Homo-oligomer: A and B are copies of this chain.
Amino acid sequence: MALADRVRYADFLSRTMSAEQAARFISHGDTVGMSGFTGVGHPKALPQAIAARASAAHGAGDPFKINLWTGASTAPEVDGALAAAGAIAQRLPYNSDPSARRQINAGEIDYIDMHLSHVAQHAWFGFLGKMDVAVIEVAGVTADGLLIPSNAVGNNKTWLQIADRVILEVNTRLPLRIEGMHDIYNGTALPPRRMPISLTHADNRIGEPYLHVDPAKVVAIVETSALDRDNVFAQPDANSNRIAQFIIDFLAHEVKMGRLPQQMLPIQSGVGNVANAVLAGLLHSPFEKLLGFTEVLQDGMLDLLRAGKMARASATAISLSRAAYEDFENNIDFYRDRVILRPQEISNHPELVRRLGVIAMNSMIEADIYGNVNSTHLMGSSMMNGIGGSGDFARNGYLSFFVTPSVAKDGAISCIVPMVSHVDHTEHDTQIIVTEQGLADLRGLAPRKRARAIIEHCAHPDFRPMLLDYFERASRQGAQHTPHLLGEALSWHQRYLDTGSMHA
């Protein structure tokens, strides 16, 4: 297929160039907003061309670093390539690339870990500085110059709006029949001109299928042809299946008790294997006509759609394994009717998550006995990935689950600890903690009762006596609302750092 079939706005064709040529529009010190969310929809060529430019500059003794803003995580050819070239000064809002992570932890990259619903608006407010260039992957351009989005929307709407210059990567590997799947809402505004967002059901369409760009800002069109990251999931293991079953039984019980409607509220599911396993579990649940209102559509949700168990799913990205993506492509007409991709300011919007009454399910690194949750840091200091949208959904959802296996590193680490080493979700925002050991429903419990519920239901038996001992000693010596022994609260983590195990 000729590029002209994809780029039907004739004016743009004259701006076609190679990635190397286009990279010249990006200079040292620039803030670059790229498309990309959870390994899909990122530009496939420019980042490597920028990395090459940076390497050349460094070779000549010149500095070359950019600030890199995206929707969420990208892929090795973006964060990996740019990090390898030492070309990232600042990164937001999310990273899962190992090389970039090493530099973040070494303090070489300034990483800013934000709620995904905050990113577009804080950039638009001007809080993060100005954006020089946006590099956005699209599936095509209409004859009117409207952009057909790719497998992720992320912050593209905002980047296109606030950047001085725009480079479009037209990925001819994307199915053109994705046109019409997206719902781009252009009604957001700066205060005091904000209006209610009219969406009242997870599958409402409130926008249009295209992204807008001022044609005068488009400085380059680069053709690519590449698949997104292969987002491989582990087959659900016994622990994940147990966690899934606890959640499904709990939801069924809540329906029975009249605390949930018969028709299940929309489902949000975080990224990762456990979240994917929960979705797999829903395939065999009593719930029908499910709706998804989530950030990322993973294999498990695609399975639910295919099986007719889920009627429609709203997300900001489709992040699939190769096999699932093949099914998606081969049945794109089926999925286009059932999948709605939105900007992440909409997919994660507090207003909408609360209105719809979303059931939030997110994984975590650790929880403490009082229900505080750590989603981001290993042993208090080391950044893993970032908070992502977990806070948007946990704070505003109807119900919020945080899930993790009860132990990690072959049992050396307890994921239930006396005090979390970093707090991303406070006791005010957590409701239900689930491990393969069981489920602790913290709603309406004071801290001491929360502690007993979490230790009894969620902790691994190997750590349960140690946790109970801590809690009981703290209750005697601390004797306050949230009993803690401050000299000991983080000692489990310190012991792990010292000995490689939290066991005493």
Interface flag for A408 (CB, 8 Å):
no
- Contact indicator per residue, chain A 465-479, by CB within 8 Å of chain B (1) or not (0): 000000000110011
Interface flag for A380 (CB, 8 Å):
yes
Are A259 and B445 closer than 8 Å at their CB atoms?
Answer: no
Interface flag for A49 (CB, 8 Å):
no
Cα-based distance from A190 to B483 in the complex (angstroms): 36
Interface flag for A387 (CB, 8 Å):
yes
Are A126 and B421 closer than 8 Å at their CB atoms?
Answer: no
| Most B Cβ at <10 Å: residue of A200, A443, A480 | A480
Chain B positions within 8 Å of A14 at CB level: none
A-B CB proximity, top 10 nearest: A191-B357, A196-B196, A381-B480, A383-B481, A110-B446, A423-B423, A351-B351, A382-B480, A486-B490, A194-B355
Cα-based distance from A372 to B201 in the complex (angstroms): 35
Q: Which residue of B lies closest to A125 (CB)?
A: B259
- Contact indicator per residue, chain A 126-164, by CB within 8 Å of chain B (1) or not (0): 111100000000000000000000000000000000000
Question: A-side binding surface: helix, strand, loop or mixed?
Answer: loop
Interface flag for A286 (CB, 8 Å):
no
- Contact indicator per residue, chain A 27-47, by CB within 8 Å of chain B (1) or not (0): 000000000000000000000
Q: Which residues of A contact B (CB under 8 A)?
A: 90, 104-107, 110-115, 118, 122, 125-129, 190-192, 194-198, 200-201, 257-259, 261, 263, 265, 350-351, 354-357, 372, 377, 379-383, 387, 391, 395-396, 398, 421-429, 431, 443-446, 448-449, 474-475, 478-484, 486-487, 489-491, 493-494, 497
Are A192 and B381 closer than 8 Å at their CB atoms?
Answer: no
Q: Which residue of B lies closest to A498 (CB)?
A: B487
A388 to chain B, nearest CB (A): 11
Cα-based distance from A398 to B351 in the complex (angstroms): 14
Chain B positions within 8 Å of A487 at CB level: 490-491, 494
- The verdict on A486 contacting B110 (CB below 8 Å), with A197-B196, A259-B127, A443-B122 known, is no
Q: Which residue of B lies closest to A387 (CB)?
A: B428
Cα-based distance from A115 to B430 in the complex (angstroms): 12
- The verdict on A486 contacting B380 (CB below 8 Å), with A423-B372, A428-B424 known, is yes
| Most B Cβ at <10 Å: residue of A198, A355, A381 | A381
Choose one: B105, B113, B128; the contact of A443 (CB below 8 Å). Answer: B128
Are A381 and B443 closer than 8 Å at their CB atoms?
Answer: no
Chain B positions within 8 Å of A421 at CB level: 484, 486
Are A192 and B478 closer than 8 Å at their CB atoms?
Answer: no
Are A383 and B351 closer than 8 Å at their CB atoms?
Answer: no
Are B428 and A115 closer than 8 Å at their CB atoms?
Answer: yes
Cα-based distance from A422 to B104 in the complex (angstroms): 26
Are A396 and B197 closer than 8 Å at their CB atoms?
Answer: no
Chain B positions within 8 Å of A355 at CB level: 191, 194-196, 351
Are B129 and A191 closer than 8 Å at their CB atoms?
Answer: no
A355 to chain B, nearest CB (A): 4
7 additional A-B pairs beyond A196-B196, A351-B351, beta carbons within 8 Å, are A110-B449, A112-B446, A126-B257, A127-B443, A192-B201, A380-B486, A421-B484
Cα-based distance from A118 to B444 in the complex (angstroms): 12
Cα-based distance from A372 to B482 in the complex (angstroms): 18
A66 to chain B, nearest CB (A): 15
Are B482 and A383 closer than 8 Å at their CB atoms?
Answer: yes
Cα-based distance from A377 to B425 in the complex (angstroms): 16
